Structure 1
Amino acid sequence: MTKTLAQVTTEFIYRDSLSNSTKLSYEVTLMPLLEKFGSYPIEIINRKLIEDYLTSLTHLSYTTHNRHQTIIQSLLNFAVQKGYIKANPATGIQQQKPNRSKGEHQDDSVIRYLTNEQLETLYQLVEPDIRLHTIVRLLHRTGARISELLSLNLEDINRDNYKFQVVGKGNKKRWCFYSKDAAILLEKYIQYYRHKPHAALFTARHPLTEIITRLSYHRVYSLWKEVTNQSHLLAGVRLHDLRHTFATERVGLMGIEELRALMGHSHIQTTLKYQKVTSLRAEQVAQNALQILLKND
């Protein structure tokens, strides 16, 4: 029986050998691909289709783009191993290089964060959905990755001290700390909206079967797209940009090593990129101020 790309992807992601955070990371990366080609038989996924899809990902930094390509290649290697296809059509496709016009370098990437105006618009739009509002607030206040947040169980939350522990990349554990406004939202969600029989912090109920499950990235992504499509200010904004916003807001307010610990970065160079972003932002503000002053002379 011929399998679709979506069916093979499900097998690939939900292997017992993968951690929950890895599974969610794969979901995040492969969801846009499945939205376009998930119903296609795996046999007709060819090199041109993969190249055209990768070319369409113009909104991604080169490092994120290359991660997408690597995961797609791993997926197709899995399909070869299972005997669904004879050869991997993605083999040999060149990875992207830094785009100098975007300010990218071999050891750098574009960091996208939300402005105050974007944040204000976002919070207005998510307010009616208490579950999504809580997720957005926690991502913004803690710097957690969406995959880390969706992996949490209710018992993982220290509700008295406003903190929780996540398992990040490389299976490294770290503490995330949230604010009182996030705590108020979280308590409201837990008390009135969370489906209590399930262990997961964020749950969902199937509309037909009424089966309660852990909230999936697919559902969060769909809700996120519905919200961001309502305002041109949020065009192209990703859930992960809330993590970048968390970091850029804290540069200068704490030591770089403390920020590194909160972000869970293995290398200090990764954290230092946020310092560069805030310097660039300060330069832009200064230049804009000079232009205004010159006009008033």
Structure 2
Amino acid sequence: MPPPLIQPAKGPSADPNHNLQLRGSTWYVRFKLGGKPQLQSLGTADVKAARRARDKILKENKALRSGIVREAEKTWQDAVNGYLDHTKQLVANRSLSEKTVQRYGVSLVQLTLALAGDPDENGVFPPVPLSAITVGTLKDYSKARFEEGRSTSTILNDLTAMSRALQFAVVSGWVEQNVAKTFDRDMFVGTTVDDLDPPTDEQAQALIDEVAEWSADMATLFRFLRETGMRLAEALHLHAEDIHPDVVRATLIRGVKRNRDGLKTRIINLGRAAELLPVLPKRGRLFARLHADSAVVSTRYGQWRRQRQGREEKSAADEGRDPETLQKFRIHDFRHSFAIASVLDDDTCLYRLSEHLGHSSIKTTEKYTRFLRGMGAHRQYGRRTDLFGSLPAALK
């Protein structure tokens, strides 16, 4: 048979994935250094990003063999360590709170686990070149977190932490672009409005009644949060001494975000929550029998919720029926329920509500009106003023 008129291309250029190897969902590059085979993780599942990172590594390896010494490329771990070190100065200047730094730290650990994979036997993560972090990396990460059942707000917090670390790398001259800023979060993740579906009044009452069988203190806390819209940390750190003599208003100082001038303070009307004061301590923390750390309280509630679901599945198996999937309301959802009820009861209260909730911007409070105009439009028919109150009248 005569040879074809056009010979097929040969060599590496014929294979765009030359020197690349896929392990699981992560791409690796193969090359030789000092005559010894090397296999280096590229820290990405995006083949296009892997090719770019491979080309850069092979180019640097070629330069190294030629005697040209190049500065090692900075990694994701360098960006994280540099940013966390920088936050010490931000905390000292009171431009960033220690609580926020801790929250970013949790997200950065999760991101490192996702980007670098498992650490070696010495607990060291394989380096992830900054050039290997692309928009595709962020898409893959967001999808994986959704599949784990993480909420939209959690994923957005992770992406914010990533953006802070990458921005530090940009300012340091390690990379030219912060890909987390170019990532369209609304398209691939959504907004916290999409994640907003707190319990209705009847659902909140049913949950409180059920929690009371497990812990009367937790049930009282839940009702207090629903009647005030306070953050969990604020309520856990509220002291009897913060309650004003008229038993209507409370001064919130502890557990509130810091600003440049120090602790942020605001006074709120307790509303119907004042009816709970007789059963609460007259000195010290109002919820002294509960742990002061909001993370501990949330974790214990999560454990109870999972055990509750487990009991339902066991009962269903014993009765030969399909188990009911119980709704997974978070403690923070009581704050959202309070805000939604307040807007339903008085659609002119937005600015007072923003001040009451301690929002730094009215735009944050406006998410409740957007929710009620969209998927929450039915809420007005389920409002039960006989069960719970809402934002009281303005203090005089």
TM tier relative to shorter chain: 0.5 to 0.7
1:7-41 per-position Cα deviation (integer Å, ceiling 9, x unaligned) = xx9xx89x97498x94455656766887997x974
C-alpha contact 1:30 1:72 (8 A) present in aligned 2: no
Q: 1:178 is matched by which residue type in structure 2? A: L
Alignment partner of 1:57 is 2:145: yes
Instruction: Tell me which amino acid in the other structure corresponds to 1:148.
Output: E
Partner Cα distance (1:152, 1:18) in 2: 26
Residue 219 (structure 1) aligned to one of 296, 300, 308: 296
Question: TM-score when scaled to structure 1?
Answer: 0.61
Instruction: Give matches, 1:4-83, under 5 Å.
Output: 17=92, 22-24=97-99, 41=123, 43=125, 54-58=142-146, 59-61=150-152, 65-71=155-161
Gap regions ≥5 residues in structure 1: 1-8, 79-86, 206-213, 287-297
Where does residue 267 of structure 1 map in the other structure? 361
2:198 to 103, 113, 122: 113
CA deviation after TM superposition for structure 1 residue 134, in Å: 2.8
CA contact 1:143–1:176 (8 Å) conserved in 2 = no
In 1, Cα distance between equivalents of 2:104 and 2:356? 23
* RCO higher in structure (CA 8 A, sep ≥6): 1
1:244 aligns with 2:321: no
Contact 2:227 2:272 in 1 (8 A): no
Cα distance in 2 for partners of 1:165, 1:274 equals: 25
C-alpha separation in 1, matches of 2:126 and 2:242: 44
Gap change, CA 1:145 and 1:27, over 3 Å in 2: farther
Report the Cα offset of residue 220 of structure 1: 0.7
Counterpart among 217, 228, 237 of residue 131 in structure 1: 217
Other structure's SS at 2:198 match: coil
In the TM superposition, residue 277 of structure 1 has moved relative to its aligned partner by: 2.0
Task: Describe the shift of the 1:253–1:219 C-alpha distance in structure 2 as closer, same or farther (beyond 3 A).
Answer: same
Aligned length: 258
3-state SS, counterpart of residue 233 of structure 1: coil
Q: Deviations over 1:155-204 (max 9, x none)?
A: 223374243222544544322333445642x442426xxxx7xx544446
State the Cα RMSD in Å.
5.1
Shift of 1:75: 8.1
- Per residue, is there more helix in 1 or in 2? 1
Give the partner amino acid of 1:260.
S
Partner SS state of residue 159, structure 2: helix
**Residue 131 and residue 272 in structure 1: after superposition, are their counterparts in 2 closer, same or farther (change >3 A)?**
same
CA contact (8 A) 1:28 1:217 kept: no
Whichever residue aligns with residue 267 of structure 2, its letter is W
Q: 2:207 aligns with which of 122, 128, 133?
A: 122
2:227 to 126, 141, 160: 141
| Cα distance in 1, alignment partners of residues 231 and 127 from structure 2 | 30
Counterpart residue identity of residue 340, structure 2: T
Question: Any idea what SS the aligned residue of 2:266 has?
Answer: strand
Distance 1:282 1:259 in 2: 18
Sequence identity, in percent? 21
C-alpha displacement at 1:133, in angstroms? 2.0
The one of 263, 269, 279 equivalent to 1:177 is: 269
Which residue of structure 2 lines up, in the alignment, with residue 83 of structure 1? none
Gaps of 5+ in 2: 1-83, 169-173, 310-324, 381-396
